[in-house]
Chains A and B, each alone.
Chain A
Amino acid sequence: MAVQILIVDDELDILTVLAMIISDKTDHKVTTTNNPFEVPELIKEGTYDLLIADLKMPGMDGIELMGEVRKLDKYIPVLIITAYGSPELAEKAINKGAYDYITKPFRKEQILIAINRALEWQTMNKELRRLKDKAGE
């Protein structure tokens, strides 16, 4: 089954370029939204393997969004993208549970590598949980 990636950024052009990069280079299926408030609903309805979220969005920032998402899915890896010149806020996002961060402007290779790593981590995490469950049986 194809990997499902959900991307949220208030800039439509960023969504388009990210979706193009991912679709061109991988077999992953991409869903995009420019409204962070839609994300919890989408997560509830779908089965996403990865969330890519902008850090700064009107109404709800990436860190707040992650809090909402974690209430619904404890394990989904979140990649934060940020246009700030510094990593401080993105590092804060990692402390709050994001898997990794990418700064804008990015190279497509950075995006693809970060996605691969996050998905590998997701697979290993799933396997670990499965083994733990098995051991606990």
Chain B
Amino acid sequence: MKEEQKLKSQAELLETKLFLQAVIDGIRDEIIVIDMAYRIKGANEAFVKRLGKPKHEIIGEYCYWVLHNMDKPCDMLNHRCPVQDTLKIGEPCGVLYTHFEGRGVRCDRIIACPALDDLGLVTQLIVVEGDIAKSKKNSGDLFDIQKLTPQGKLAAAVAHELNNPLAVILGFTDLLMEKMDSDRQNHEILKAIERQAHNCRRIVECLSIFTRYPETTEYSTDVNVNLERMISVIENILDAKKITLDKNFAEDLPKAKGNMGDLRQVFMNLATNAIAAMDRGGHLTVSTRLNTSGNRVEILFKDTGHGIKREYRNRIFDPFFTTRKVRKGAGLGLSVSYDLVSKYGGDITFETVAEEEDKERKGTAFTVSLPVVPLESKQI
């Protein structure tokens, strides 16, 4: 009887296994299961097909070897590994990468999710990788600028900046080809230009599908250190533009919520705007302080530039709003900064006096306010 039950259980187990394999093989995205040592424990057909190797040569191998020909977990600059991120924080993590394969472009979204055991411990990871260019290109709801992540907004700006020159290149090429006999060698050259411009257009289309994948907000930053690093980058520019700098950093400032890279981008945007506003030189003050309630770190960027005109004041955080000349700015700096800061529960406010209002007091002061990270918090 026991033997019968055992056989029945085995049959059920096999049936479940086959069912699960059929389910994951039916998914067009590539799926692999990785253990804590980065060994591939399972893969679906889509993944095996892309690699072009027999499945038994993939199973048991390290993912970094199979995917990137590396002999240790990937440590590539600007190439985050969602597997490592998930192992660090125990939460699903995702990244978007653009891969160029021959003439084609893949926009891969890779998501790593932890699989937990009965005790709630991560034992393995499920990694899903898919070309979102294929699956989402025509979904129609992708490009509401207001809803895009900062990366999405950046992609939108890139698309905008590239579509203009592409329109010019393709337009002139088309006109020239028409005027030229098709048997001339130059005609072939023009066709090559046209072909390559179309490739660029496809890349731009691919960029345009960056979407809003939720990011972790559990980060903390030493604001003063971060500002010092940013200032070291702009010091030469300040000198060249005849802008003097005054730093007033509060001592013993608690850490603020926010990823160091994100905040550096915010600080850089504000500093760049201040520099742009002082085209005839001026004075920039960067200061930090703890607010009176002790729950927010405030970072102040005060310039003596031309100020913001009254009619522009309620639009400066709008995406693509710019008062700068053509090619000098995409109009995304403040909008992206605002989104980045909001992500961490922070805020950006400003006070300004336009040159037209008062030549003596002209200038703008932006204040970034970020929540303080509680001492007992385990933020990274």
A86 to B207, CA, bound (A): 12
The secondary structure that dominates the B interface is: helix
B325-336: contact bitstring with A at CB < 8 Å (1 yes, 0 no)? 110000000000
Contacting A at CB under 8 A, from B312-330, are 320, 322-326
A134 within 8 A of B: no
Q: Which residues of A contact B172 (CB under 8 A)?
A: 17, 20
Inter-chain contact B323/A85, CB cutoff 8 Å = no
B199-223: contact bitstring with A at CB < 8 Å (1 yes, 0 no)? 0010011011000000000000000
B294 within 8 A of A: no
Inter-chain contact A21/B205, CB cutoff 8 Å = no
Q: Which of A41-49, A66-74, A104-112 contacts B (4 or more CB under 8 A)?
A: A104-112
Q: Which of B34-42, B72-80, B101-109, B157-165 contacts A (4 or more CB under 8 A)?
A: B157-165
Cross-interface CB contact of B143 among A13, A20, A88, A108, cutoff 8 Å: A88
Q: Which residues of A contact B160 (CB under 8 A)?
A: 56, 83-85
Q: How many residues of A contact B (CB 8 A)?
A: 25
Inter-chain contact A85/B156, CB cutoff 8 Å = yes
Inter-chain contact B208/A20, CB cutoff 8 Å = no
A24 within 8 A of B: yes
Q: How many residues of B contact A (CB 8 A)?
A: 33
Inter-chain contact B168/A14, CB cutoff 8 Å = yes
Cross-interface CB contact of A83 among B144, B163, B174, B323, cutoff 8 Å: B163
Inter-chain contact A11/B159, CB cutoff 8 Å = no
A24 to B145, CA, bound (A): 37
Cross-interface CB contact of A105 among B143, B163, B178, cutoff 8 Å: B163
B134-166: contact bitstring with A at CB < 8 Å (1 yes, 0 no)? 000000001111000000000010011101111
Inter-chain contact A104/B323, CB cutoff 8 Å = no
B240 within 8 A of A: no
B43-59: contact bitstring with A at CB < 8 Å (1 yes, 0 no)? 00000000000000000
Q: Shortest distance in angstroms between A101's beta carbon and chain B's nearest beta carbon?
A: 13
Inter-chain contact A58/B322, CB cutoff 8 Å = yes
Q: Shortest distance in angstroms between B116's beta carbon and chain A's nearest beta carbon?
A: 39
A24 to B172, CA, bound (A): 12
Closest 4 CB pairs of A and B: A86-B143, A85-B208, A17-B171, A83-B163
Residues of A within 8 A of B (CB): 10-11, 13-14, 16-18, 20-21, 24, 56, 58-59, 83-86, 88-89, 103-108
**Besides A105-B170, A105-B197, A106-B170, 9 other CB < 8 A contacts?**
A10-B326, A11-B164, A11-B326, A17-B175, A58-B323, A83-B164, A84-B163, A85-B143, A86-B143
Could you list 21 A-B pairs, sorted by A, with CB under 8 Å? A10-B326, A17-B172, A24-B175, A58-B323, A83-B160, A83-B163, A84-B156, A84-B163, A85-B159, A85-B160, A85-B205, A85-B208, A86-B142, A86-B143, A88-B143, A88-B144, A103-B163, A105-B169, A107-B170, A107-B174, A108-B171
